[in-house]
Amino acid sequence: MRARTAVVLFLLLPACAPRLPPGVAAPPASAVASSGGPNRSASYVARVEGGVVVFDLGWWGAEGALDDALVELGGTTRDVIAVFLTHSHRDHVGAWRSVAHAPFHMAAAEVDLFFREAAQGGWVPRWVEALNATDVPAPDEVAVRSFSSDTAFAFGPDTVRAFTVPGHTAGSAAYLFRRTLFAGDAIAWSPVTGIRSARAGYSDDAEAARRSLASLRERLKPYPVDWMCSAHLKCAEATDETWEKLLDEGG
C-alpha cells in the first residue's frame, strides 16, 4: 500500500511544478490550455493580427481546454488562423478536429508521422500506438504546410520563428514567439534533474535530440530568448545555466 502511494506521488510530482513565464499565460493576449493526465500537456494560444495562433493541440480533454483558453482571449476556435505543431505524438494533437479549418504547420519530416503513415520511433510511443491508435486526420482533412529548414511566419508585428530540432521525433520543431521558445518535447523535465533534454524511450534518438539542442542554441543567438517551455508546462529562463543542463550528457 505504501509502495503504491509512493508510485502515485512520483507520478504526480511532474505535475506539481508548473512554472510559466509571465508573458505566456497573459489573457487577453495569450493563454494556456492544459489537458491529459498527470504529465499535463499544453496548448499555447496567442492573439495576433488577424486571429489566433496555437502551438500544439494537447491530449485527452484538449478540445474543451482549448475552448476555455480561447474564451480567455475573447475568441473561439473559429478565430484560429494557424496551428504550429512541435511534433505529432498523441499528447500533442488532441484538439485537431476543433481547428481543422486552419493550416497546420510542421516540419517536413513529421508529416508522415502525423498522418500515421510512418511508424513512431521511440519504443514507448510505438508501443502505446500499437495498443490504442491515436485519432489523427486523414491527409485530406487538414491542410499541412511543412518546412524543411528554419523559417519564419509573420503575423503583423509578430513573428513565429520555426526551428527544426530532430531527435525526439524525426520532424520535431521548436518555435520562438514573443521571446519564448516553445520546444515541445525537445526539452523535458524530471523531479530529479529539473530541465533536461528529450527523454530516451519516448524519443526516436535522444542523442540526436541533444545535438539538435546544441545546434539550436547557436541558431537562436541572433534573437532575444527569455524563456523556454516544453509542451508539458515546464518552463525555464533561457540562461547559460539552463542551456548547460539541457546539453549535459548525464541529464
Cα gap 191→178, rounded to integer Å? 28
| Residue 79 makes contact with Zn ion by CB under 5 A | no
Q: Does 110 bind Zn ion (CB under 5 A)?
A: no
Q: Smallest gap, in angstroms, from Cβ of residue 228 to Zn ion? A: 16
CA–CA distance, 85 with 162 (Å, rounded to integer): 10
Residue entry with cell 502511494: 5
73 vs 188, which CB is nearer to Zn ion?
A: 188
# binding residues, Zn ion (CB under 5 A): 2
**Terminus-to-terminus CA distance in the chain, angstroms?**
31
Q: At what angle do helices 206-219 and 240-247 cross, to 10 degrees?
A: 150
Among 33, 41, 52, 89, binds Zn ion (CB under 5 A): 89
Q: For Zn ion, which is the closer residue by CB, 89 or 210? A: 89
The answer to whether residues 105 and 162 touch, using CB atoms and an 8 Å cutoff, is yes
User: Which residue number, 127 or 223, has a Cβ lying nearer to Zn ion?
Assistant: 127
Q: Mention every residue, 6+ apart, whose C-beta is less than 8 A from residue 7.
A: none
* Residue 185 in contact with Zn ion, rule: CB under 5 A: yes
3/20 Cα distance (integer angstroms): 32
Q: Closest separation between CB of residue 9 and Zn ion, Å?
A: 24
Q: Which stretch binds Zn ion (CB under 5 A): 10-18, 20-28, 147-155, 181-189?
A: 181-189
Our finding on whether 204 is near Zn ion (CB under 5 A) is no
CB 126 to Zn ion: min, Å: 12
* Residues engaged in binding Zn ion (CB under 5 A): 89, 185
